[in-house]
Amino acid sequence: MDILTVILFFAGLVLLVIGAEALVRGASSIATAAGISPLVVGLTVVAFGTSAPEMAVSVSSAIGGNPNVAIGNVVGSNILNVLFILGLSAAIVPLAVSRQLIRLDVPLMIGVSVLLIVLGLDGSIGRLDGAILFTGILAYTGWTIISSRRASKAMAEAIEGEFAPRASSSLAIFKHVALVLGGLGLLVLGSEWFVDGATEFAEALGVSDLVIGLTLVAAGTSMPELATSVVASIRGARDIAVGNVVGSNIFNILAVLGLTGLVADGGVAVADSALRVDMPIMLIVAVICLPSFFTGRMITRREGLAFIALYVAYVFYLFINATRPDALSGQADMLLGATFVAGALAWGALALRERFGAQTPLTTG
């Protein structure tokens, strides 16, 4: 691995972030100029725009013959979004959780995680699978637009303050279109550089493309979600901080893998290790959200720190399994799974105890 690979990797990441920002700004400005509600723009264009890097990287990886990077990018991003990004945001400021997230969006995130595992059981996400997933994101987007009138007042004010309609001349519209086209161009170019650099990293480190996708690529493409959620939590727009992550996870599975399955020749191969370990972990992480969100409809600092600790444990497992696969005598997968299941059960018991005011201290055996 030479210095050019490192430069390529980080230059690609920079282009992805800049491209996503340009795309969101341009599309939002065009939409508001066209008279579309800023709230609808915020709930669709902005939320989905933060997942544009995942889309660009996964499609580019699948077309370029790196399906493990495509799968690892989505699964790794979803795990990182909940455990690290929500965890870090909650560690900074405890996060409020809206009733809609508890009743619909989080159960939907769990449901699409189960659907992805079921569709991947045959070893690939084919065109039919991709069509099923992509139809799901169209339905979800339509429902989001229809139900946007019932969004919380805080979310509405925060989004409308950011994307309020502005008077637009022909020159301004031209600039907005240029932003969209320029953003798309940067996303395409950045994804190619980023994937090429990530593949070189995998070869140099002697680890699989899947591990690189689950870690470096997932972390890189999740930078917009990290920035959005952390800044929103600091500014007090805590509905957006949580909703951004949940919406992004739903979009990653339905839209990113849906489109990737549709355009990839022969579908996207799903590695056995991803089916056996990483996808179930993604599902457990989604399930963990429910009891945590039920705890007074808040994600507390303690819960945020626990999320971060679980993510560190997961990355440690990936590192050990990639560099010393025999270190745990072949029981690494079972140990990791048991850790996350035990964490989910303990979290559920804690949430119920706090919600219903039980006085018996929580113990683990």
What is the SS3 assignment for 267?
coil
Tokens, residue 151:
């969004």
Q: List the Cα angle 179/183/187 in 5-degree steps.
A: 175
Burial class (CB in 10 A: 0-12, 13-18, 19+), 26: buried
Residue-level pLDDT at 265 = 84
Evaluate whether 292 touches 304 at the Cβ level (below 8 Å): no
Whether 364 is in a domain gets the answer no
Residue-level pLDDT at 359 = 40
Query: Rounded distance, CA 17 to CA 91, Å?
Result: 24
Whether 363 is in a domain gets the answer no
Evaluate whether 279 touches 115 at the Cβ level (below 8 Å): no
Reported as half-sphere exposure (CB side, CA atoms, 13 A), residue 65 has a value of 0
Query: Rounded distance, CA 87 to CA 280, Å?
Result: 20
Q: Tens-of-pLDDT digits for all 365 residues of the chain?
A: 578 778 888 888 888 878 877 776 777 677 667 666 555 665 566 667 777 788 888 888 888 888 888 899 999 999 999 999 989 988 888 877 777 677 788 889 999 999 999 999 999 999 999 999 999 999 988 887 776 655 555 555 555 555 555 555 677 778 878 887 888 788 778 877 887 787 787 777 777 778 888 888 888 888 777 777 777 777 776 666 777 788 889 999 999 999 999 998 888 999 888 898 899 999 988 988 776 666 556 788 888 888 998 898 888 888 777 776 665 555 555 555 556 665 555 555 555 555 555 443 333 33
The answer to pTM > 0.75 is yes
Residue-level pLDDT at 292 = 64
Q: Looking up tokens 């989004």, which residue turns up?
A: 159
* Full domain range(s) for residue 304: 3-356
Query: Rounded distance, CA 195 to CA 200, Å?
Result: 9
* CB count in 10 Å sphere of residue 265: 8
Separation of CA 72 from chain center: 12
Tokens, residue 350:
């804690």
Query: Rounded distance, CA 351 to CA 341, Å?
Result: 15
Query: Rounded distance, CA 339 to CA 341, Å?
Result: 6
Whether 229 is in a domain gets the answer yes
How many structural domains is the chain composed of? 1
Domain with residue 86: its CATH number is 1.20.1420.30
Please state, in angstroms and as integers, the Cα–Cα distance from residue 165 to each residue in 45, 159, 160, 178, 197, following that order: 15, 11, 8, 19, 40
Whether 201 is in a domain gets the answer yes
Residue-level pLDDT at 361 = 39
Please state, in angstroms and as integers, the Cα–Cα distance from residue 324 to each residue in 72, 209, 318, 319, 329, following that order: 20, 16, 10, 8, 10
